[in-house]
Structure 1
Amino acid sequence: MSDPKPRVGFIGLGDQGAPIAQAIADGGYPLHVWARRPESLDVLEGHAFTVQPSIAELAAAVDIVGLCLREDADNLQVAVDGGLLANLRRGSVLVNHGTGLPQAARELARLAAPYSVEVVDAPVSGGHAVALARQLTTIAGGDARVVERLTPIFRTFSKEVIHVGPAGSGQYGKLFNNTLMMMNHQNVLEMMHLAQALELPIQPLLDVLRSGSASSFALQAIGPSITSANVHHLQPLELIDMQLFSGAVDALGDQAHEVIERAVGGARGLDELTAIVGA
């Protein structure tokens, strides 16, 4: 008989976390969840899961815990103040699927070490629609053997699982990815300004750019994923990511300045870009 699948705990059932948790449950892993608000559990209707009444009781019931929370401070509150680390068994794994600072990922690993709990930072890329399709890219930082152990779970919601390096590397990978995408937003916006100045028809030009060698995810996403209906929700998130990126590369000083400025420009111009292309 094969070994039973590990029990997985999950905290953070938001836009990204909910479809990740659903996929884990549908993959046959015993799923245990805790939520601050009971109504948050509605997103798991139709999927097999066990509710735990407290963070401590969730920790005691599982082998692996996934967090998909908004900020690094939320992870620390759950892990330390909430009793997650203190109640996990030795050899358990704590996985952070949220986006945050590499420095915070390393600090979480340091805090977990006295409890003999492994920590992997594994942010995901792709957005809500891609999460629903279970086609995310999971970007993992941590011990290679631990990431290999987690990979079958990650594959329930991912098309790609990439081990980038030690603790904090997953966050670097995610932030570099997001920053380059925002720089590409700025590239597209500048090209659209030139097209407008020449009074070129925008839609046929977009068809050329999307199907030709100039294509990029940033360009393809305008319309299908980034629209006038959601752009004002996405813009603040992109600007938060740029604050994180700036903090992540702070040691480089002015070396990263031009990259940051261009990416911030792309995030700030996202609403204008959706208006130009009629998304």
Structure 2
Amino acid sequence: MKHSQSTAPIAIIGMGLMGGALMRMTGAARGWDIDTSRCVNAASANDVLSTCEVVFLCLPNSGIVREVLRAADLKPGLILIDTTTGDPAEMAELGVQLATQGVHYLDATISGSSAQLLKRDVLVMAGGERAVFEQCRELFAKFAREAVHVGPCGSGAKMKLVTNLVLGLNRAALAEGLAFAWDLDLNPVETLDVLRRSMAYSRIMDTKGEKMITQDFTPQARLSQHLKDVRLMLAASSIPLPLSETHRQLLEKAVTLGFGDADNSAVIKAF
């Protein structure tokens, strides 16, 4: 490659919440989205992929990633950093296929929301060649407090599903606890304060507790996206995941109630 990753032309494909935050933190000069109002110095996805050296993919699922890349002019030496929470098997297969074209692929999933990324308070979990991961460390440091290499392509997606399983259940448990407190006529603000001081504490109380109490569901991460993740977990697992199955039902109920595009803290509406 001609340039180090700190100076190479950087671009984003998928300018939603996470993509927009990444553009701001990495200083990417170009960004493309299917919503043309979000595009920055980019006429098409292929325009970005054929002219930039490092491209972040911030797309809803791995099927859309494949669709975007299928018609693209991918030049050898290109580094694709896929932050999509997708199907681990598909992402592993994609890494193998891209390698035959001389394209470097990291499934570099992100633990944390777009709001946390803007504070450099997220964790990157990357699968792919370690050498490519090491080349991108300086770039990851622009928006993440830490980045870890977790194995070959597909491993980042697997680790993201594991972390999202625990994170999502923490969120659902908090929602149920606060709903229970309301039912017992406890003051929800005081209840949240006590929960934070107790052995029940989790960081989710700091990021989602107030949103649940005030019913402020301005999206930091959309509920429908987490439902997609839970379905991926259930599909990827060869063992029963009974808590995640219940969580799926709760999220589907929240979507039915009209909260699919709301923040994932809106899971409390299912109670």
Q: 1:273 aligns with which of 261, 265, 268?
A: 268
Deviation at 1:40, TM superposition (A): 0.8
Instruction: Give matches, 1:1-279, under 5 Å.
Output: 5-25=7-27, 31-41=29-39, 51-81=41-71, 83-85=72-74, 88=75, 90-192=76-178, 195-196=181-182, 198-224=184-210, 228-230=215-217, 234-249=222-237, 252=238, 255-264=239-248, 267=251, 271=266, 273=268
1:272 CA drift (Å) = 6.6
Residue aligned with 1:16, SS: helix
Query: Is contact 1:183-1:266 (8 Å) kept?
Result: no
In the aligned structure 2, how far is the partner of 1:33 from the partner of 1:234? 21
The structure number with the bigger radius of gyration is 1
CA contact (8 A) 1:15 1:128 kept: yes
Comparing 178-187 with 12-21, greater Cα deviation is found at: 178-187
8 Å Cα contact 1:124/1:138 also seen in 2? yes
TM-score (norm 2): 0.81
Contact 1:181 1:217 in 2 (8 A): no
Moved more, 113-122 or 133-142: 133-142
Tell me if structure 2 keeps the 8 A contact 1:105–1:168: yes
1:239–1:264 CA contact under 8 A, matched in 2: yes
| Greater per-residue helix proportion | 1
How many Å separate the matches in 1 of 2:177 and 2:44? 52
- Taking every aligned residue pair, what percent have the same amino acid on both sides? 26
The Cα of 1:224 is off from its aligned counterpart by 4.2
Q: How many residues align?
A: 255
Distance in structure 1 (CA, Å) of the matches to 2:96 and 2:162: 24
* Change beyond 3 A, Cα 1:5–1:186: closer
Pairwise CA distance, 1:35:
3.8
Aligned partners of 1:189 and 1:181: how far apart in 2? 12
- TM-score (structure 1 length as normaliser): 0.79
Q: 1 CA distance for matches of 2:46 and 2:62?
A: 19
Q: Which residue of 1 aligns with 2:258?
A: none
Change (3 A) 1:8 1:258: same
Q: Distance in 2 between matches of 1:131 and 1:271?
A: 21
* Secondary structure, counterpart of 2:56 in structure 1: strand
Shift of 1:60: 2.9
Give, as a single letter, the amino acid of the residue that structure 2 aligns with 1:264: R
SS at match of 2:148: strand
Give unpaired runs (5+ residues) of structure 2.
Answer: 255-264
The unaligned stretches of length 5 or more in structure 1 are 45-50
- 3-state secondary structure, aligned to 1:220: helix
Q: Offset of 1:262 from its aligned partner?
A: 4.1
Give the match for residue 48 of structure 1. Answer: none
